[in-house]
Amino acid sequence: MTARVEWLPLGHVTHGYRRVFVVYENGILRHVINLAHMPYESVFRVKQLATAARVDDSSLWWGLSVIAKLVSDGTLLSSENPETADDGYLQIRPQVPSPDELLPLSVYRVAVKKNALCFPLERTSQCEQEGIYGGHPTHQ
Amino acid sequence: MNEFAATVNATEYPPHQKHKVIFQTFDNLRPGEAMLLVNDHDPQPLHYQFELERPGIFSWEYLERGPETFRIRIGRTGA
C-alpha cells in the first residue's frame, strides 16, 4: 500500500498562505486537505529551522510534513478513523512545528523534484517503532 | 530629487489588493531605489512576506512607527 501526496500552487489568505494537498492511496484519490491559515511569520520561522540549508518554499516543507504525519500515523485512514470526513475534504489550521516534526530536508527535496511525496504505508509502524518521526516517509 | 521612487498609501486600497500593489511597486524599483509605504498599523506580516518572497533584495526601515501612522522606507538592494 502506498501513499502519494501532491499539491496545488501556493495560495494567499489574509497575512498568510494556504496550501492544498491531494492524497492518493494506491493511486486512488482519497483526500483533499486545505492547510490554512499559515501565517507569514510562522512560515518564516519554519524557514529558519532549516538553519544552514536553504529552503525556497518553507510553507511547502511545513505542509508536506503535516500531511505526511497525518497519512503515516493513520489519522486519515477511514478504516481506523470512522469520523474522517466522508467526502475526503479536510481543512486544518496547522500548528507551528518543532524541528523534529519536519520532514528531513533530503526527503523534502526529492518530493519537490518529483512534484510528489511518495511513501509505502506498510513501513509506517516499523518506522514508529524505530523512533523515526512517527512514520517518516521514505521514498520508493 | 525625491528620496522615493514611489509611494504607496496602503490605507487607500481594499485589503485584498494592498500586498499585491506593494509588491508590484517594489518589483518596479531599480536596485538602489526605494519606495515609501504608509499604513495605519504596523505591517509586520508584510515584512515577513518580504523575507519569504524577496529574500536578500530589500531593506526595511521605519521612518515613523505609530501609533496612528506607520511610514516605512522599503529599499531595493538587489536585482
Cα–Cα distances (Å) from A109 to A35, A113, B26, B75, in that order, read 20, 6, 30, 32
In a domain, A62, yes or no: yes
User: What is chain B's pLDDT, residue by residue, as a tens digit (79 residues)?
Assistant: 578 999 999 999 998 899 999 999 999 999 999 999 999 999 999 999 999 999 999 999 999 998 999 999 999 998 8
In a domain, A89, yes or no: yes
**pLDDT, tens digit, for every residue of A62-114?**
999 999 998 878 787 666 676 677 778 899 999 999 999 999 999 999 999 99
Domain that holds residue A60: 2-129
* C-alpha cell recorded at residue A36: 490554512
Give contacts of A58 with chain B, Cβ < 8 Å: 52
Closest CA to B36 of B10, B1, B66, B67: B10
In a domain, A38, yes or no: yes
Torsion of CA A98, B51, A93, A68, to 10 degrees: -50
pLDDT at residue B21 in the model: 97
CB of A40 within 8 Å of a chain B CB? The answer is yes
Q: State ipTM.
A: 0.86
Number of folded domains that form chain A: 1
In a domain, A136, yes or no: no
Q: How far is B56 from chain A (nearest CA, A)?
A: 13
In a domain, A119, yes or no: yes
Searching chain A, which residue's CA lies closest to the CA of residue B16? A14
Q: How far is B52 from chain A (nearest CA, A)?
A: 6
**Residue-averaged pLDDT of chain A:** 83
**pLDDT, tens digit, for every residue of A14-61?**
899 999 999 998 888 989 999 999 999 999 999 999 877 788 899 999
* A58 with B19: Cβ contact below 8 A: no
pLDDT at residue A122 in the model: 63
In a domain, A37, yes or no: yes
Searching chain A, which residue's CA lies closest to the CA of residue B43? A15
Question: Span A5-10, mean pLDDT?
Answer: 96
Task: pLDDT band for A3, please (50, 70, 90 cuts).
Answer: confident
**pLDDT, tens digit, for every residue of A12-25?**
998 999 999 999 98
Give contacts of A44 with chain B, Cβ < 8 Å: 48, 51-52
Question: Span A132-139, mean pLDDT?
Answer: 41
In a domain, A139, yes or no: no
Q: Which residues of A76-112 are buried (b: 16+ CB within 10 A; e: fewer)?
A: bbeeeeeebeeeeebeeebeebeeebbbeeebbebbb
pLDDT at residue A132 in the model: 35
Contact B6, B28 (CB under 8 A): yes
3-state secondary structure of B2: coil
In a domain, A95, yes or no: yes
